[in-house]
Amino acid sequence: MDETLLMLPGPTNVAPRVLQAIAKNVVNHRSAIFGEIYTEVTKMMSELFKTQNKSYLLTGSGTAAMEASIANIVNKNDKILNVIGGKFGERLRDITLAYDGDAKELNVEWGTTVSPKQIKEALDEDENIKAITVVHNETSTGVAAPIEEIGKVVKDYNALYIVDTVSSLGGDHVDVDKYNIDICFTGSQKCLAAPPGMSAITLSEDAWKVIDSVNSNTYYLDMKKYKKFGAGTPPETPYTPSITLIYGIHEALKMIEEEGIDNRVLRHETAAEATINGAKALGLELFPKKEVSSATVTALKIPEGVSDSDLRGTMRNQYKVELAGGQDHLKGNIFRIGHMGNINYKQLAITFSALGMTLKKLGFDIDAGAGVSAVTKSYL
């Protein structure tokens, strides 16, 4: 058992009761008993998404759900507006291109986010845009997009509104129906705090109308099959699902229900605030502007005079705290502290205690206790 504390933007630390839940024996996935579990878990997912629409569980990573969101609605040369401000925005564009869609990029500088006005301009510019993709929480830069405000713009256009909430659902405000989102998806291993390996997706009536008109190459991720099998007696998945992970997600969703989603979001926001305060007290600089900094992951600049591998290596090897690095052109420039799922003052006290010692050992002229002190005061 590796006792390293994961402070990653996924996978996150899994509660013992969730780990116990997945260690139950498997049942037949073509049986009434599975149908009951599947029905309950997908209903709980729809409640978490805050939608009247049905949800579906996919046995696959968050990227499988990203692909499902595009592959089922794109015919060749269909215009898709991909908002890009980081790696996951790029991934949705890459999937658009993989399915021969005409990807219209709306690029914003990494570390910033898009404004509803920019979205309106892009939609006004081309009336044939079939869908728009927005990453709610751009895990690669620690930036949250204003998905509620964007939703108010998009609802006046025909375009489907696709929102990636892989690293936000369960940790930040997501209200699919209120925000007019047509396709929304998430992963099991982020704010849900279940182990990785499954994703969930929900689709609106408008989305289904488009899906019914598209003949996609995808087979495993063909949502028509998920709809058909999900409406069966008993409700089923088209292919053998990850039954043990469904047990785990079930238990994780029960924990979310018990806590209440508003309490849970507040807990994440508090963790984000404490992280920013702790970092500031150690002389570290936030990568994005504070106003757009994510509730679930904080991106910080690696200070001058230290390498990523020294910083994160010391944290990992000496103090057993695992932080995330930067990705692509941000590699070596930023590091990221995930505060998702089962996060409270305890993990942040450990993390900032370790970070203070690490920076001190690496030669920085700081008060090694200032970060963890600031974290503590944040939680008071």
28 lies in the site for a second copy, by CB under 8 A: yes
By CB under 8 A, what part of segment 166-195 binds a second copy? 187, 189, 195
Helix (H, G, I), strand (E, B) or coil at 135: strand
14 lies in the site for a second copy, by CB under 8 A: yes
Name the token pair of 34: 């599975």
Query: 91: which residues sit within 8 A by CB, 6+ positions away?
Result: 63, 66
Q: Shortest Cβ distance from residue 239 to a second copy (Å)?
A: 4
Nearer to a second copy, 68 or 348 (CB): 68
Nearer to a second copy, 24 or 289 (CB): 24
- The residue type at 170: G
Residue in 334, 339, 372, 376 with CA at minimum distance from that of residue 354: 372
By CB under 8 A, what part of segment 85-144 binds a second copy? 94-95, 98-100
Q: Shortest Cβ distance from residue 249 to a second copy (Å)?
A: 12
Name the token pair of 115: 């404004």
Q: Shortest Cβ distance from residue 237 to a second copy (Å)?
A: 8
Residue in 141, 162, 148 with CA at minimum distance from that of residue 9: 141
40 lies in the site for a second copy, by CB under 8 A: no
Q: Shortest Cβ distance from residue 141 to a second copy (Å)?
A: 17
By CB under 8 A, what part of segment 348-367 binds a second copy? none
User: What is the x/- site pattern for a second copy, positions 236-275, by CB under 8 A?
Assistant: --xxxxxxxx--x---------------------------
Rounded CA gap, 119 and 266, in Å? 28
Are 220 and 58 within 8 A, CB to CB? no
Stretch that binds a second copy, among 15-23, 252-260, 329-337, 339-347 (CB under 8 A): 15-23
Name the token pair of 346: 């305890």
By CB under 8 A, what part of segment 63-82 binds a second copy? 63-64, 67, 71
Nearer to a second copy, 269 or 322 (CB): 322
Q: Shortest Cβ distance from residue 283 to a second copy (Å)?
A: 26
Rounded CA gap, 2 and 5, in Å? 9
Exposure string (b/e) for 183-209, b if CB count within 10 Å is 16 or more? bbbbbbbbbbbbbbbbbbbbbbeebbe
Name the token pair of 335: 């590091």
Residue in 260, 258, 257, 269 with CA at minimum distance from that of residue 296: 269
By CB under 8 A, what part of segment 192-231 binds a second copy? 195-198, 216-222
372 phi and psi angles, rounded to 5 deg: -70, -30
- The residue type at 222: D
Nearer to a second copy, 108 or 221 (CB): 221
Residue in 88, 253, 96 with CA at minimum distance from that of residue 169: 253
Nearer to a second copy, 290 or 320 (CB): 320
Positions that interact with a second copy (CB under 8 A): 1-2, 4, 6, 8, 10-11, 13-14, 19-20, 22-31, 33, 59-64, 67, 71, 94-95, 98-100, 187, 189, 195-198, 216-222, 238-245, 248, 316, 322, 324
